[in-house]
Structure 1
Amino acid sequence: MKRRSLADPNLVEKYIRGQVLPRFMQRLREIEDELARHRSRLADAYEELWVSCGHDSQAFEQRWRATAHSWRFDHVNELIHSHNEHYPIERRLPINPRTGDYLTTSGRPWRREPAGPKWILERFPARRGPI
């Protein structure tokens, strides 16, 4: 940045903003990274449990559901809660004057659902047939 430009606070602010990803983008990356770590750990646990159950479908289903209900998503769910609370403001989403709801520019919902047993069972079903 040129020395003359440093005298103009607006240019300095634009320069700094251009160097840093907006917080909502950083948070979305953190959420995706955390969910990827969970998927990897869950995939390992899923296969280990299947083998430890001796390929018994009923035992596997019961134990896998228990695993899904005891799995902890505290950190990623805090990030998701923060995303749901701050994203529309940080992204400057327009508001529908009739409903007071935030609108999206892409037509896709911006809210994220917290991760939990349902999230796990959608990706790693409890019912598993024999190999």
Structure 2
Amino acid sequence: MALNLAPFGRWTLRDKAAQRPLPSTLERNMSRNQLIVQLPVTESSDFDSLIQVEETLIQAFSQNRFAEVDGHDIGEGKFNIFIFPTGSWGPVIERVQAFLKLRGVLDKALIVKRLKASEKFVVVWPIGFAGEFQL
């Protein structure tokens, strides 16, 4: 049985969708508050362990919807996990700290928040951090 597309004329739904500009991932992410978990990477770092930290956070937030874990990047001696809170910062930061402690990496981690559409980063863990955060 053939599908009758005559009511749609010469254009298809795909053509109409292509005409609408979609925001880039960067644009979408810049319009949201963001939490970044940064862990150091050295020659002796176990990449699988770093991925397990990310997987733990994905599972934690898939159960309560306080945030969405949006992946990671790695480079220049750093492993960054990107998290987008869906509400207030407090419960998200508390859960991230608890799960990093569970994985045994809280003492090595930097937890940083970035307000939407801002290039300013604020280190929230460790408390009293005096260094400079760089992505």
Which range, TM-score by smaller chain? under 0.3
Report which of the two structures shows the higher radius of gyration computed on alpha carbons. Answer: 1
Larger relative contact order (C-alpha < 8 A, sep ≥ 6)?
A: 1
Superposition TM-score, scaled by structure 1 size: 0.25
Q: TM-score, normalised by structure 2?
A: 0.25
More helix by share: 1
Higher percent of residues as strand: 2
